[in-house]
A = this chain, B = another copy of it.
Amino acid sequence: MRIGILGGTGPAGTSLAARLASIGYPAVIGSRSKYRAMEARDALAERWPALADSLQYGDNHAAADCDVVVIATPWDSAATTAQEHADALAGKVVISMANALVRVGHEFQPLVPPRGSVAAHVQAAIPRSRVVAAFHHLPATELGQIGEPIDSDVLICGDDPAAVRTVSDIVANIPGCRPLDAGELSNATAIEAFTAVLLQLNVRYKTRVAPKLTGIKQS
């Protein structure tokens, strides 16, 4: 299963690409400019030569041609980027990971995008795709430190149960991560907004937090 990453040259996109490649998923870093994607891919391959064969690059069209596609653009271009590739993404599992946040002074504030969440906005832009929200709470730096487990639960929500399972299977392969089924895509509103609280805690405690939920026995 090849996983494409639209707008994948930022910290979240490159960290995810490296992590996915490290657990056996060939990843295609996409960008509006394939040269920027090449630069991002080569930087990763230089850092982790063993992953070079599993890390590819291309324009966003190349990323959208993959089996599963992640949208890793800034939140305010997630829906428009998805819509530009609506035909290529039709029928596919599309992962939305962006959070609509703004920094106000020392505080992070969640914004309310159209339809309540970035994920719901993306789903409305590509109605033929099966959008799943995931990866919102993972700190990008830790996500990119491949070889080190991430001690975190990953909340996953979406309206297509099979699509949620596909993403859960991917997450379950990341060492230390536990996928949790958080229900319908409407729950992305609260999941995305909660990221502002986590970033707030990062500032306050000079760390990078990740959530775990006690009380769930399933591993």
User: From residue 172 to 219 of chain A, which have CB atoms closer than 8 A to chain B?
Assistant: 180-184, 186-187, 189-191, 193-198, 200-205, 207-218
Chain A interface main SS type: mixed
Q: Please name all residues of chain B whose beta carbon is closer than 8 Å to the beta carbon of A202 when the two chains form the complex.
A: 215
Whether B200 and A208, one on each chain, are in contact in the complex, defined by CB atoms closer than 8 angstroms, is: no
Whether A207 and B215, one on each chain, are in contact in the complex, defined by CB atoms closer than 8 angstroms, is: yes
Q: Please name all residues of chain B whose beta carbon is closer than 8 Å to the beta carbon of A215 when the two chains form the complex.
A: 139, 202, 205, 207-210
A58 within 8 A of partner (CB): no
Whether B211 and A216, one on each chain, are in contact in the complex, defined by CB atoms closer than 8 angstroms, is: no
Whether B183 and A214, one on each chain, are in contact in the complex, defined by CB atoms closer than 8 angstroms, is: no
Name the one of B187, B191, B211 contacting A213, with C-beta atoms under 8 angstroms. Answer: B211
A84 within 8 A of partner (CB): no
